[in-house]
Amino acid sequence: MQIRNIALLGHGGTGKTSLVESILHLTGQTDRLGRVADGTTVSDYDPEEVKRKISISASLTNTTHNGTKVNIIDTPGYFDFSGEVLQALSVADAGVIVTAAKGGVSVGTEKSWDYLAGKPKIIYISKVDEENSNFANSYSVLREKFGHAVCPVVIPFYEGEKVAGVIDVSTKKGYTVKDGKPNQVPIPESSVEEVEEMYKFLAEGVAESSEELMDKYFGGEPFTDEELINGMKAGVHSGDLVPVVCGSAFAGLGTLRLLDHIVNLFPAPEEKPEPASLFVFKTISDQYGKFSLFKVMSGTVNADASFVNVRSGNNEKFGHIYTLQGKKNTEVKTIPCGDIGAVSKLSDAKTGDTLRDAKSKEEYPALAFPKPVYSMAISPKTKGQEDKIAGGLTRLAEEDFTFTVENNAETHQMVISGTGDIHLDVLCAKLKSKFGVEVELAPAKVPYREKIRKKVKVQGRHKKQSGGHGQFGDVWIEFEPGDSEDLIFEEKIFGGSVPKNFHPAVEKGLRDACAKGVLAGFPVVYLKATLVDGSYHDVDSSEMAFKLAANQAFKAGLPTASPVLLEPVGTLKVQVPDSYMGDIIGDLNKRRGRVLGMNPTESGKQEIEAEVPLSEMSSYAIDLKSMTQGRGAFDLAFNRYEEAPANVQAKIIEENKTVSNE
Each residue of 279-327: pLDDT tens digit?
999 999 865 668 999 999 999 999 999 999 999 999 999 999 999 999 9
Give the list of residues 6+ apart from residue 490 with CB closer than 8 angstroms, or none.
Answer: 528, 529, 530, 531
Q: Are residues 570 and 558 in the same domain?
A: no
Are residue 22 and residue 169 in the same domain, yes or no?
A: yes
661 — pLDDT class (breaks 50, 70, 90)? very low
- Whether 55 and 139 map to the same domain: the answer is yes
662 pLDDT more than 50: no
User: Would the pLDDT of 658 be above 70?
Assistant: no
- Please tell me whether residues 229 and 315 are part of one structural domain: no
Structure confidence at residue 467 (pLDDT): 64
CATH code of 628's domain: 3.30.70.240
Q: Is residue 369 part of a domain?
A: no
Is the same domain home to 20 and 54? yes
Q: Which of the four pLDDT bands, split at 50, 70 and 90, describes residue 538?
A: confident
Asked whether residue 34 falls in the same domain as residue 158, the answer is: yes
Nearest to residue 17, comparing CAs of 66, 58, 69, 71? 58
Domain with 554 in it: 450-562
User: How many C-beta atoms lie closer than 10 Å to residue 79's C-beta?
Assistant: 22
Which of 207, 237, 265 is the last residue before a domain boundary? 265
pLDDT digits (tens, 9 = 90+) for 39-85: 999 999 999 999 999 999 999 999 999 999 999 999 999 999 999 99
Looking at the DSSP bridge assignments, the partners of residue 42 are none
| Cα–Cα distance measured from residue 145 to residue 77, given in angstroms and rounded to the nearest whole number | 20
* Same domain for 461 and 435: no
| pLDDT the model gives residue 286 | 64
The reply to whether 533 and 593 lie within a common domain is: no
Q: What is the mean pLDDT of residues 530-535?
A: 95
Considering the domain architecture, whether residues 228 and 82 belong to the same structural domain is answered as: yes
Q: Which of 2-6, 384-388, 461-465 has the highest mean pLDDT?
A: 2-6
Q: Which of 300, 320, 353 is the last residue before a domain boundary?
A: 353
Let me know if residue 359 belongs to a domain: no
- Residue 251 belongs to a domain: yes
pLDDT at 468: 65
Whether residue 270 lies inside any domain: the answer is no
Confidence of residue 3 (pLDDT cuts 50, 70, 90): very high
Q: Is residue 615 part of a domain?
A: yes
Dihedral of CA atoms 404, 406, 411, 412 in degrees, nearest 10, equals 130
Mean pLDDT of the chain: 94
Arithmetic mean of pLDDT, 172-179:
92
Provide the pLDDT confidence category of residue 21 given band limits of 50, 70 and 90: very high
Share of the chain above pLDDT 70, in %: 98
**Do 145 and 194 share a domain, yes or no?**
yes
Residue 540 has pLDDT above 90, yes or no: no
pLDDT at residue number 470: 82
- Identify whether 366 is part of a domain: no
Q: Is residue 345 part of a domain?
A: yes
Residue 445 pLDDT class (50, 70, 90 cuts): very high
For residue 610, count other CB atoms closer than 10 A to its CB: 22
- Is residue 660 over pLDDT 70? no
Average pLDDT over residues 358-373: 94
* 150 membership: H or E segment, kind and range: strand 150-152
Mean pLDDT over 101-124 rounds to 94
Q: Report the domain count for the chain.
A: 5
Would you place residue 181 in the very low, low, confident or very high pLDDT band (cuts 50, 70, 90)? confident
Q: Are 428 and 439 in contact (CB under 8 A)?
A: yes
Q: Would residue 661 count as lying in a domain?
A: no
541, β-bridge pairs: 472
Q: Indicate if 168 and 317 belong to the same structural domain.
A: no
Q: Is 127 left (phi over 0), alpha (psi -120 to 50) or beta?
A: left
